[in-house]
Amino acid sequence: GDSVTQMEGPVTLSEEAFLTINCTYTATGYPSLFWYVQYPGEGLQLLLKATKADDKGSNKGFEATYRKETTSFHLEKGSVQVSDSAVYFCALRTGWGGSNYKLTFGKGTLLTVNP
Amino acid sequence: DTGVSQDPRHKITKRGQNVTFRCDPISEHNRLYWYRQTLGQGPEFLTYFQNEAQLEKSRLLSDRFSAERPKGSFSTLEIQRTEQGDSAMYLCASSRLAGGPGTGTQYFGPGTRLTVL
């Protein structure tokens, strides 16, 4: 079945440091890939997505590139801020047309950014 | 869009009691999903609706769980005879099936945190 493996946390960085959170996946077919973020006390928010190989998703300074050859979708940001402190979830979605669009999530990575 | 809303945000109950949660999706979103998230884990799919039809249920959804979406608008998730293992965050998401920006993207509500004592 489908699965997502994320880098184990927690990750603690200083402000302006470079961030990488690794994500690899196993899926049948050609999944769409997502990063969701969960800020303290809030619900999941879509951060970025990519729907086909070599697509790059980007938002709020975060980027991730869909790498089919390595089945990866690593999240990166060049300079993190304290406000980026949150839990980050990598997810995939398979299914087309009328089929189920359920998301399969990784376990999440807690990021703490210190001033 | 006003976003997905869920009620209540927190629920504490005693083992053996029944509980019901409500989810109001973004208006005109055809699909509605329920997920469960336990501490330190990512959300896990429970069930989904397309309009009023419940099209798939996960094996995680035991017979004590039932979900409805009458008239294809809001949805309810009921847990009967709650157990301590049911303690979790219950998340609702909705998406547009086709047409318009963001098609297929799932938007999540804030969740209902259930604690079973």
pLDDT digits (tens, 9 = 90+) for A44-92: 999 999 988 999 999 999 999 999 999 999 999 999 999 999 999 999 9
User: Can you tell me whether residue A85 is helix, strand or coil?
Assistant: coil
Q: What angle do CA B46, B49, B58 make, to 5 degrees?
A: 25
CB proximity B101 to A under 8 Å:
no
Mean pLDDT of chain B: 91
Token pair belonging to A17:
């440091």
CB proximity B36 to A under 8 Å:
no
Contact A102 B48 (CB under 8 A): yes
Q: Looking at residues A27-41, what average pLDDT do you find?
A: 89
CB pairs under 8 A between A and B: 52
Stronger pLDDT, A77 or A32, i.e. the higher one: A77
CA distance, residue B42 to nearest chain A CA (Å): 4
Cα-flanking dihedrals φ and ψ of residue B84, to 5°?
Answer: -60, -30
pLDDT band at B63 (very low <50, low <70, confident <90, very high): very high
Provide, as residue numbers in chain A, all residues whose Cβ is less than 8 Å from the Cβ of B55: 100
Q: What share of chain B is helix, strand, coil (3-state, %, to 5)?
A: 5, 50, 45
Single out the residue of B84, B86, B103, B85 nearest to residue B95, CA to CA. Answer: B103
Stronger pLDDT, B103 or A29, i.e. the higher one: A29
User: What distances in angstroms separate CA A45 from CA A31, A36, B9, B56, B75, one per listed residue?
Assistant: 19, 5, 17, 24, 20
Measured between alpha carbons, how far is A37 from A77 in angstroms, rounded to an integer? 14
pLDDT band at B61 (very low <50, low <70, confident <90, very high): confident
pLDDT band at B20 (very low <50, low <70, confident <90, very high): very high
